Amino acid sequence: MTTSPHDIPGIEDLPEPFQQAITRFLTFLRVECGLSHNTRIAYARDLRDLAQHLATQAVLQPENIQPRHIAGHLASLSADHELVNASLARHLAAIRVFSRWLHARGTLAEDPTEPLLRPARWRRLPKTLSPSQVEKLIEAPHATPNAKGPPLWLRDRALLELMYASGVRASEICDLADDDPLRDAALLRVRGKGNKERLVPMGTPAVQWITRYRFECRPQLASMDNKHQGRLFLSRTGRPLERTAVWVIVRRWANSVGLKGIHPHMLRHSFATHLMTGGADLRAVQEMLGHASIATTEIYTHLDHDRLHQVVNKHLPFG
What is the per-residue burial (b if ≥16 Cβ within 10 Å, else e) of 169-178? bbbbbbbbee
- How far is C-alpha 13 from the geometric centre of its chain's CA atoms? 31
**Catalytic annotation, pick one of 24, 243, 251, 291:** 291
Catalytic annotation on 291?
Answer: yes
37 is catalytic: no
As a whole number of angstroms, the distance between CA 6 and CA 264 comes to 32
For the chain, the residue count is 319
User: Which residues contact residue 87 at a Cβ distance below 8 angstroms, ignoring those fewer than 6 apart?
Assistant: 77
Distance of alpha carbon 307 from alpha carbon 206, whole angstroms: 27
Angle at CA 315, nearest 5°, toward 309 and 319?
65
For residues 41 and 8, is the Cβ–Cβ distance under 8 A? Answer: yes
DSSP labels, 188-239? EEEE-GGG-EEEEE--HHHHHHHHHHHHHTHHHHHTT-TT-TTBSSB-TTSS
Active-site residue flag, 265: yes
Task: Clarify whether 196 is annotated catalytic.
Answer: no
CA distance 16 to 245: 41
Write down the catalytic residue from 45, 193, 198, 212. Answer: 193
Cβ(22)–Cβ(12) below 8 Å: no
Is 43 among the catalytic positions? no
- Reported as type and span, the H/E element at residue 103 is helix 85-105
Nearest to 7 by CA among 35, 48, 56: 48
Catalytic residue among 169, 218, 231, 269: 169
Rounded to whole angstroms, the Cα distance separating 211 from 177 reads 14
CA distance 14 to 305: 48
53 is catalytic: no
Q: Which of 73, 228, 268, 269 is catalytic?
A: 268
Which residues does the annotation mark as catalytic?
Answer: 169, 193, 265, 268, 291, 300
